[in-house]
Amino acid sequence: MDGHCLLGLVNNAGIHVGLDALADQPVEKLRKQLEVNLVAQLIVTKAFLPQLGLDLTLKGKPGKILNMSSIYGSYTLPFSSAYSASKAGLNALSEGMRRELKPFGIGVVVIAPGALKSSCMLTLWLHIYFKHLAMLAASAS
């Protein structure tokens, strides 16, 4: 780094622990989802904050933090609540970081892509809805 700030940090790690109804999902799956998609991103960010500009002895413009979220942080599909909760949490965490780090010139950006239309996604969602068709029918009536 030669005494200069990092240009940026990209937090792109994430998992989807499974497609379960909340009533059937083990709490450990939810914990793992939150640990990877939310807590781990904070741990990595905190480790790099000095190099991003909190260390005022470094030269250059402070860096930016890019957190990869998902459209499902704002929109929850059935059987995917744990994933959505982890991404909604990341959105809230990012907003707080943005406000806290602004005085240091460190920017925080969230990218929230949606699902891609593909045969893989179609197969996945058909599997989900056929698997849980009885539950969906019961909740609709």
C-alpha 118: how far from chain center? 22
Q: Is 129 a catalytic residue?
A: no
Q: Using one digit for the tens of pLDDT, what is the confidence trace for 71-114?
A: 888 988 888 889 999 999 999 999 999 999 999 999 999 998 88
Checking if the pLDDT of 132 tops 80, the result is: no
Residue 63 vs residue 118, higher pLDDT: 63
At 120, which amino acid appears? Answer: C
Q: Is residue 130 part of a domain?
A: no
> What pLDDT is recorded for position 75?
87
Token pair recorded at residue 42: 């904070």
State how far the Cα of 20 lies from the Cα of 18, in Å rounded to an integer. Answer: 6
Q: Which of 72, 75, 83, 129 is catalytic?
A: 83
pLDDT one-digit tens code per residue, 23-77: 888 999 999 999 999 999 999 999 999 999 999 999 999 999 999 999 888 988 8
How many CA atoms are closer than 13 Å to the CA of 138, on its beta-carbon side?
A: 4
Residue 131 placed within a domain: no
Number of domains comprising the chain: 1
> Which domain covers residue 73, as residue numbers?
8-116
* Predicted pLDDT at 116: 65
Phi, psi of 61 (to 5 degrees): -75, 135
Question: Which pTM does this prediction carry?
Answer: 0.81
Distance CA 59, CA 19 (A): 47
So what's the pLDDT on residue 40?
96
What CATH number corresponds to the domain at position 57? Answer: 3.40.50.720
Question: From the CB of residue 115, how many other CB atoms can be counted at a distance below 10 Å?
Answer: 13
